[in-house]
Every structure is written in structure tokens, then in C-alpha cells.
């Protein structure tokens, strides 16, 4: 509860700034409409207007400002419009949703009325699109984490890998994901692989890196005394790994996982952009920008942010549980 | 039990070679309590690490139980107590004591038995389920001694185990350590900076001096095995302490 106040304060500040920005952002559009509607504006022609600064225009035409806020297809929508859009496309679709009980009377095998399934299956449903993005994200995150941990173990235990893998891992992250995403999709398509897996690969491409970096640091975190202690017991290398290096690396691993899962989500959304995907939050962003539906774009963006926050929170919860059970958190 | 003859160790560092041990001759018999005392950098830790096969001598011979240090380690000849307790924070006290037992492949039931046994030896019964951070520094150090005792090595190597503790706790632990030594019949090699601690505990005191690290004096203590804390005020005790101090001073005179 104590954390609610600062969070709400930040949200309020962001909403305030957003609201303030709506007028200036949409002002030229509104002025344009007013000019075409024959209203008296200064300067009078669009050419002159486009050569005048925004602040000057706003000062000279204060009457247009309300129109800028009420603009039909705004460049920047008002926050409440986005909230309404999100509501309409999630909870709003749930009207007529009820539990009908198992058996013959229900619309389908789940016992939920068809109204409920609309929330999930409706092409407008943000929950549907979010799920289409989340599923590859989770698969990609799992692949990336597994790969990252394996690489880290290799780097720590094998001198050749130590010298050779890291530069490549770093280089891999300097390639813009937007550049290779279409190639991966096309190549996999040619191999007959479609759907979730190509997206997952791209998201794992982004998520393995923080895991490698954090895990290498974590596996190397035991001090020389901790290692010497095991040497006095003549412990084998696997024993050293399981009993010392792995447990010491867990706090580092969890920090990396939080970065990794957010990166995985970004990876999936980016993977949806250049490939004309029809489902997923990335697809919503894309179609929104095709049709100038800024409200739709913002709704998808906020949904993505909510997903990312939820995923990071989930990792945090698992982290807390694990580390508490291990006695690493007091 | 331990025999060093003409032992030499030179570290090759970036600033040139460091002669950490020079011509060290030393014999330690079974059941002795030997203290190593000397100024910082005189090679006490290095000598202990050689015995533990954590460091490779560059010359001379060293045997532990008639074997090379490496073999001795594989035969679980010694338990090592570091300056810091070095308990793993993700393991309970009992879990920490089990660590060597798990690595050495003791049966589970045997592990439990031994944990209870050594917890009793170091006076920590009932603390097995606690995590290290729930214990005071002195208790943690006792737990680390328990860990070194758990697999029943005959030799205990201790590198300034009480260095970070205050005087009162230290006195108490010294007394307990002596009792433990008397009860278990172990051989103990003990590094310290404190003259009273060395004299109070030891049957033999090895005085060392630095650059190059070497032994300047070996003193056999005339004190009885039975030692209450106030033995430190007797003339015999003070005489030994005096000789140690002289030995340390002589080592320094050498230096200038
Ligand atoms: N791994 C190493 N590499 C290079 N030099 C070392 C290494 N370990 C120790 N030395 C050097 O060897 C000498 C003896 O060190 P050692 O740690 O044995 O001293 P010490 O008597 O234990 O000192 P202290 O009382 O401060 O613990 C020092 O000069 C030290 O700098
Ligand atoms: Mg030392």
C-alpha cells in the first residue's frame, strides 16, 4: 500500500503532461480544419500557417484550442479516449458473459456463454492480441534464458569459449533487430516453419544477452576463499558448480531475467512489425498506423506496457520466493 | 605428522619474485598445538596453505602424515578454518556443516549424526536450522570450526580464526578451543598475531619474520596441558611471552 502513493503520483504527473500536450500536438490539424471551414484565422492561408511557429499560431488563434482537444482523428488522442478504447476492447466485449454450467444448455464445452469467448477470440479484443504476443514472448524467453545460461556456463568453464563467445554475443546485439527480423521470418518460412516459433526466435535473440552477462558475473562471484574451501575438500568441478557457483549466481540471474523478459516482449512486437502479422500487439500498432488510428496505437502500446510490467512483476515474485527459500533474503 | 625440510616458496609477481618462505624446517608431532606468530607478510598463511596443498612449494620437501600434501588432502587429513567464517549464506548452519560431508559422500543418516555431534562440540546445539546472518560473528566462527571438524580429520589448520573478534569473545573461544583440543586429541596448527593467544594455546610456538619469510625461533611451552584463563598471570606464562616477544624483535633487528 505504501508503494501506491508514489506510483499514483507518477501516473498523475504523466497524465497531466499528456493532457497538456494534446492541444499543441493537434493544434495545426484543428487550425487546418477551421481554415477549410471558412472561419477567420490568422494568418489566413495554409501556406502562411505552415511557415508560422506553433506558439505564435496558438497565441493568435486561442478560439481554435477547444477544437484541438475535441479533434476527431487526433495526432495525439486524449488519455480518456485511450482508456475507453482499451475498455471497449477488453472488458467491454465481455457483456453477456455468464457461467451457464456444464452440460447441454451451455453454448459450448467450456460452460461459458459465447459472450465470454468473444473477449478472447474477437479480433478486436486486446486480450486476444496480447495473448498472441505473450505466447511467443514466453517461449522466446525460455529459449533465450536456456541458451544464455548454457553460454554462461561454457564461458566460465571453458577458456576457449571465454575468449570467443563474448565478443560475438556483444556483436549480435549491435545488429538492429529490425534488420534481421524479416530475414529470420523469411528463412524460416522457406523451411516451412510459421506461427509462433519465428517470433519466439527473434525474442530469444534479444533476451539471451542480459542472461549471459548476468550469469557469467554471477558464476564468477564466489570469492577465492569460498573456492579454496571447496578445494580443501577436494571437491570436483560439478560439485563446485552445483554447491557454490550456481547458488551464488541466482541473485544475478534474476536481475538479468527481469531485463531479459522485457527485451523478449520488445523482440516479439518488433518481429510482428515488418512481417505484416495479423495478430498480436505489433500487428495492432501496424494497422493503427496504416489507418491513422492513433487511439488504437496508444491502446496497443499501453497494453504492451501493462504486459511488460506484469511479466517483470512475475519474475520479481518468483525471485522473492526463491531467494527467501534459499535464505538469501532476510 | 607434518615434516618440512628446507621448504622454499617464491611467488613470481609483476614486481619481481617474492620470497614468501625461505628454508623452513619444521616438525609437528601428533597431538601438538602449534602456533605461528609473526608480523604481517612473514608467510604464516602461505605456510599453512602449503600444508593444505593450496599452494605449491618451489623447493624443499613437505610431508603430511608421511604423504605429499596433495595426497593428504585427498585422504581428508585436515580441516581448514579461514580467517573469515565463510559460511555459505544460502545454507543453514547445519547445511554448511554438511557441505564437506555431502562432497565426501557420507550417508545421509551419518551426516545428521555428525552435524549434531560437532554442533555440540562447539556449543551451538539448537542453532542448526538458523541461517548464518542470524548468528553473531563469534557463533559464525564456531560454526566454521564445526564444519572443519565434521569429517573428523586429525589435523586442524586455523588461519587467524579469531582475528576479527573482540577480546572478550576471543578469550572465551580460546578457552573452548583448548577444551576441544584436549577432548578430541587433534593436532592443531594455528596462526595468530597475538602473543598472549599464542602462549595460552600452544604446546609449541613458531616465531617467524618477513622478507624473506622464515622461522626465527621455535619455543616449546613448559605450561601444563590444563590451562585456566588466569594462567596468563603466572610467571611461567610471562616468561614464555617474553621469549616470544624477544624472538619477534630479533626478527626485526635482522631486517634493518
Ligand atoms: N598469491 C600470491 N601471489 C604473490 N605473492 C603472494 C601471494 N600470496 C602471498 N604473497 C606474498 O607472500 C608474502 C607472505 O604472505 P602471507 O599471506 O603468507 O603473509 P602472512 O604472514 O599470512 O601475513 P598476515 O599476517 O598479514 O596474514 C607476502 O609478502 C605476500 O605479499
Ligand atoms: Mg595471513
Residues A67 and A212 grouped into a single domain: no
Q: Which residues line ligand 1 (CB under 6 A)?
A: B 11, 13, 18, 20, 40-46, 213
**Is B86–A235 a contact, with Cβ atoms under 8 angstroms apart?**
no
Whether the pLDDT of residue B100 is over 50: the answer is yes
pLDDT at B234 > cutoff 90: no
Closest residue to A233, CB basis, from B89, B91, B100: B100
Question: Which residues of B are less than 8 Å from A330 in CB distance?
Answer: 133
Of the candidates B89, B106, B29, B118, the residue with the CA atom closest to the CA atom of residue B65? B29
pLDDT of A102 above 70: no
Which pLDDT band holds residue A304 (cuts at 50, 70, 90)? very high
Neighbour tally for B224: CB within 10 Å: 8
DSSP letters spanning A180-198 = HHHHHHHHHHHTT--THHH
Binning pLDDT at 50, 70 and 90, where does residue A327 land? Answer: confident
pLDDT at B113 over 60: yes
Read off the pLDDT of residues B167-179 as tens digits, 9 standing for 90 and up. 887 888 888 888 8
Answer with the one of A41, A57, A76 that is the final residue of a domain: A76
Better-scored residue on pLDDT, A276 or B197: B197
Contact status of A228 with chain B (Cβ, < 8 Å): yes
β-bridge partners, B206: B36, B218
Q: Do residues A175 and A237 share a domain?
A: yes
DSSP annotation of A44 reads -
- pLDDT for B252 beyond 70: no
Shared domain check, A166 and A50: no
Q: Do B90 and A330 touch (CB under 8 A)?
A: no
Q: Which of residues B255 and B78 earns the better pLDDT score? A: B78
Burial of A106 (0-12, 13-18, 19+ CB in 10 A): middle
Which segments within chain B are labelled E, that is strand?
2-13, 16-28, 33-37, 59-64, 78-81, 155-159, 187-192, 204-209, 214-220
- The better pLDDT of the pair B208, A123 is held by B208
Atom in ligand 1 nearest the alpha carbon of residue B36: 21
Q: How far is the CA of B19 from the centre of ligand 1 (A)?
A: 10
The answer to whether residues A194 and A284 belong to one domain is yes
By the 8 A CB rule, do A222 and A229 touch? no
Residues spanned by the domain of A167: 123-325
Tens of pLDDT, residues A202-215: 999 999 999 999 99
A229 CB near a chain B CB, below 8 Å? Answer: yes
pLDDT value for B92: 92
A255 burial (CB, 10 Å; 0-12 / 13-18 / 19+) is middle
Phi, psi of B37 (to 5 degrees): -130, 150
Give pLDDT, residue A140.
Answer: 94
B67 touching chain A per CB within 8 A: no
What average pLDDT does the segment A157-172 reach?
88
List CB contacts (< 8 A) between B54 and chain A. Answer: 228, 231-232
**CB atoms < 10 A from the CB of A100, how many?**
15
Going along B105-236, which residue ranges are E strands?
Answer: 155-159, 187-192, 204-209, 214-220
Nearest atom in ligand 1 to B193's CA: 25
d(CA B53, nearest CA chain A) in Å? 8
**pLDDT tens sequence across A34-82:** 888 888 888 888 888 888 888 888 888 888 888 888 877 888 888 888 8
Ligand 1 atom closest to Cα of residue B213: 14
Interface contact flag, B103 A235, Cβ < 8 Å? yes
Please report the pLDDT score of residue A120 as a whole number: 65
The pLDDT value given to residue A284: 86
With a CB cutoff of 8 Å and minimum separation 6, the contacts of A210 are A148, A256, A259, A260, A263
CB pair distance less than 8 Å for A232 and B52: yes
Q: How far does A320 lie from chain B, in Å, by closest CA?
A: 14
Q: With beta carbons less than 8 A apart as the criterion, state whether A329 and A320 touch.
A: yes
| A305 shares a domain with A163 | yes
Q: How many independent structural domains does chain A possess?
A: 2
* Residue A183 and residue A69 share a domain: no
CA distance A152 to chain B (A): 21
For chain A, the average pLDDT equals 86
Distance CA A314, CA A131 (A): 16
Ligand at shortest distance from the CA of B193: 1
Environment of ion ligand 2 (residues, CB < 5 A): B 45
- pLDDT over 80 at A1, yes or no: no
Q: Considering the domain boundaries, does residue A212 fall inside one?
A: yes
Residue A83 in any domain: the answer is no
Residue B129, burial from CB neighbour count under 10 angstroms (0-12, 13-18, 19+): exposed
CA proximity to A235, closest of B44, B186, B100: B100
Distance A107 CA to ligand 1 centre (A): 80
Residue A99's pLDDT is what?
67
Is A246 inside a domain boundary?
yes
B103/A233 CB distance under 8 A: yes
Q: CATH code at A199?
A: 1.10.3720.10
Question: Is residue A226 one of the residues assigned to a domain?
Answer: yes
Return the number of other C-beta atoms located less than 10 Å from residue B201's C-beta. Answer: 24
**Percent of chain B at pLDDT above 70?**
98
One domain for residues A132 and A42 = no
Asked, for residue A30, whether it belongs to a domain, the answer is yes
Predicted confidence band at A185 (pLDDT cuts at 50, 70, 90)? confident
Mean pLDDT of A308-325: 92
Same structural domain, A159 and A218 = yes
Sheet of B78-81, strand order: B78-81, B155-159, B187-192, B33-37, B204-209, B214-220
Candidates B17, B24, B42, B54: which one to mutate for ligand 1, based on the most atoms within 8 Å of Cβ?
Answer: B42
Instruction: Tell me if A118 is assigned to some domain.
Output: no
- Confirm whether A152 is domain-assigned: yes
**pLDDT surpassing 80 at residue A105:** no
Give residues with Cβ within 8 angstroms of B108, minimum separation 6.
Answer: none
Q: Is the pLDDT of residue A119 over 50?
A: yes
Question: Do residues A70 and A142 both lie within one domain?
Answer: no
Q: Domain for residue A89, yes or no?
A: no
Within chain A, residue ranges assigned H as helices are 4-36, 46-50, 54-60, 65-69, 79-88, 114-121, 126-157, 159-174, 177-190, 196-219, 224-232, 237-240, 246-272, 281-290, 294-325
The phi and psi torsions of B41 (rounded to 5 degrees) equal: 85, 10
Residue having the nearest C-alpha atom to atom 2 of ligand 1: B11
Decide if B222 contacts B240 (C-beta within 8 A).
yes
As to burial, measured by CB atoms within 10 angstroms (0-12 exposed, 13-18 middle, 19+ buried), residue A260 is buried
* B72, B90, B102: best to mutate for the A interface, most A CBs within 10 A: B90
Q: Are residues A48 and A137 in the same domain?
A: no
Residue B9 has pLDDT above 70, yes or no: yes
The Cα-based distances of A315 to A174, A202, A251, A259 in angstroms read 26, 21, 12, 10
Torsion of CA A183, A187, A188, A192, to 10 degrees: 150
pLDDT for residue B256: 44
- Which residue(s) pair with B61 in the sheet? B5
DSSP three-state, residue B215:
strand
Residues A63 and A160 in one domain: no
Ligand 2 mean position, distance from CA A266 (Å) = 51
Question: What pLDDT does residue A243 have?
Answer: 93
In this predicted model, what pLDDT tens digit does every residue of A225-266 receive, in sequence order?
A: 999 999 999 999 999 999 999 999 999 999 999 999 999 999
Assess whether A65 and A128 both reside in one domain. Answer: no
Domains defined along chain B, listed by start: 1-77+155-256 (3.40.50.300), 85-152 (no CATH)
Tens digits of per-residue pLDDT, A16-27?
999 899 888 888
Averaged pLDDT for residues A118-142: 84
CB–CB contacts below 8 A, A to B = 47
Ligand 1 centroid–CA B56 distance in Å is: 14
Measure CB to CB from residue A330 to each of B86, B91, B133 and give the nearest one. B133
Q: What is the reported pTM?
A: 0.83
Amino acid at each position: 500500500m505504501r508503494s501506491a502513493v508514489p506510483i499514483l503520483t507518477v501516473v498523475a504527473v504523466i497524465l497531466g503532461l499528456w493532457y497538456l500536450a494534446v492541444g499543441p500536438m493537434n493544434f495545426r490539424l484543428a487550425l487546418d480544419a477551421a481554415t477549410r471551414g471558412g472561419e477567420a484565422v490568422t494568418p489566413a492561408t495554409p501556406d502562411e500557417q505552415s511557415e508560422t511557429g506553433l506558439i505564435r499560431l496558438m497565441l493568435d488563434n486561442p478560439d481554435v484550442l477547444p477544437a484541438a482537444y475535441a479533434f476527431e482523428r487526433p495526432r495525439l488522442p486524449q488519455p480518456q479516449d485511450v482508456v475507453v478504447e482499451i475498455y471497449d476492447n477488453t472488458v467491454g466485449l465481455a457483456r453477456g458473459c455468464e457461467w451457464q454450467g456444464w452440460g447441454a444448455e451451455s453454448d459450448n464445452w467450456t460452460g461459458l456463454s459465447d459472450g465470454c469467448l468473444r473477449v478472447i477470440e474477437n479480433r478486436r479484443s486486446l486480450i486476444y492480441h496480447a495473448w498472441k504476443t505473450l505466447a511467443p514472448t514466453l517461449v522466446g524467453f525460455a529459449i533465450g534464458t536456456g541458451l544464455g545460461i548454457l553460454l554462461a556456463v561454457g564461458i566460465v568453464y571453458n577458456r576457449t569459449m571465454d575468449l570467443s563467445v563474448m565478443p560475438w554475443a556483444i556483436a549480435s546485439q549491435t545488429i538492429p533487430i529490425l534488420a534481421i527480423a524479416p530475414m529470420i521470418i523469411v528463412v524460416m518460412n522457406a523451411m516451412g516453419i510459421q506461427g509462433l516459433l519465428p517470433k519466439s526466435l527473434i525474442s530469444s535473440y534479444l533476451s539471451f544477452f542480459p542472461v549471459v552477462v548476468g550469469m557469467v558475473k554471477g558464476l564468477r562471484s564466489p570469492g577465492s576463499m569460498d573456492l579454496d574451501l571447496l578445494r580443501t575438500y577436494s571437491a570436483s568441478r560439478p560439485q563446485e558448480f552445483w554447491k557454490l557457483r550456481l547458488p551464488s549466481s541466482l541473485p544475478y540471474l534474476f536481475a538479468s531475467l527481469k531485463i531479459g523478459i522485457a527485451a523478449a516482449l520488445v523482440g516479439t512486437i518488433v518481429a510482428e512489425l515488418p512481417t505484416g502479422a495479423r495478430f498480436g500487439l505489433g500487428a495492432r500498432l501496424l494497422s493503427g498506423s496504416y489507418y491513422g488510428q492513433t487511439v488504437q496505437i496508444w491502446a496497443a502500446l499501453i497494453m504492451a506496457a501493462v504486459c511488460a510490467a506484469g511479466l517483470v512483476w512475475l519474475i520479481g515474485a518468483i525471485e522473492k520466493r526463491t531467494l527467501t527459500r534459499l535464505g538469501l533474503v532476510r | 605428522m607434518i615434516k618440512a625440510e628446507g621448504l622454499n616458496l617464491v611467488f613470481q609477481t609483476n614486481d619481481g619474485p617474492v620470497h614468501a618462505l625461505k628454508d623452513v624446517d619444521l616438525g609437528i608431532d601428533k597431538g601438538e598445538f602449534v602456533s605461528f606468530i609473526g608480523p604481517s607478510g612473514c608467510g604464516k598463511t602461505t605456510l599453512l596453505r602449503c600444508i593444505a596443498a593450496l599452494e605449491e612449494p618451489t623447493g624443499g620437501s613437505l610431508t603430511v602424515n608421511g604423504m605429499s600434501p596433495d595426497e593428504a588432502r585427498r585422504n581428508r587429513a585436515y580441516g581448514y578454518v579461514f580467517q573469515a567464517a565463510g559460511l555459505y549464506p544460502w545454507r543453514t548452519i547445519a547445511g554448511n556443516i554438511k557441505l564437506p560431508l555431502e562432497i565426501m559422500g557420507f550417508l545421509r543418516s551419518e551426516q545428521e549424526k555428525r552435524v549434531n555431534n560437532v554442533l555440540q562440540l562447539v556449543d551451538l546445539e539448537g542453532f542448526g536450522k538458523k541461517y548464518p546472518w542470524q548468528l553473531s560473528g563469534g557463533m559464525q566462527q564456531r560454526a566454521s570450526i564445526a564444519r572443519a571438524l565434521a569429517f573428523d580429520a586429525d589435523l586442524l589448520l586455523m588461519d587467524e580464526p579469531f582475528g576479527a573478534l573482540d577480546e572478550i569473545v576471543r578469550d572465551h573461544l580460546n578457552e573452548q578451543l583448548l577444551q576441544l583440543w584436549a577432548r578430541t586429541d587433534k593436532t592443531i596448527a594455528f596462526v595468530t598475531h597475538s602473543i598472549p593467544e599464542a602462549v595460552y594455546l600452544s604446546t609449541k610456538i613458531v616465531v617467524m619474520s618477513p622478507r624473506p619469510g622464515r622461522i626465527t625461533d621455535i619455543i616449546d611451552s613448559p605450561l601444563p596441558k590444563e590451562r585456566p584463563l588466569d594462567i596468563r598471570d603466572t610467571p611461567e606464562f610471562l616468561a614464555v611471552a617474553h621469549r616470544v616477544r624477544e624472538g619477534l624483535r630479533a626478527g626485526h633487528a635482522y631486517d634493518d
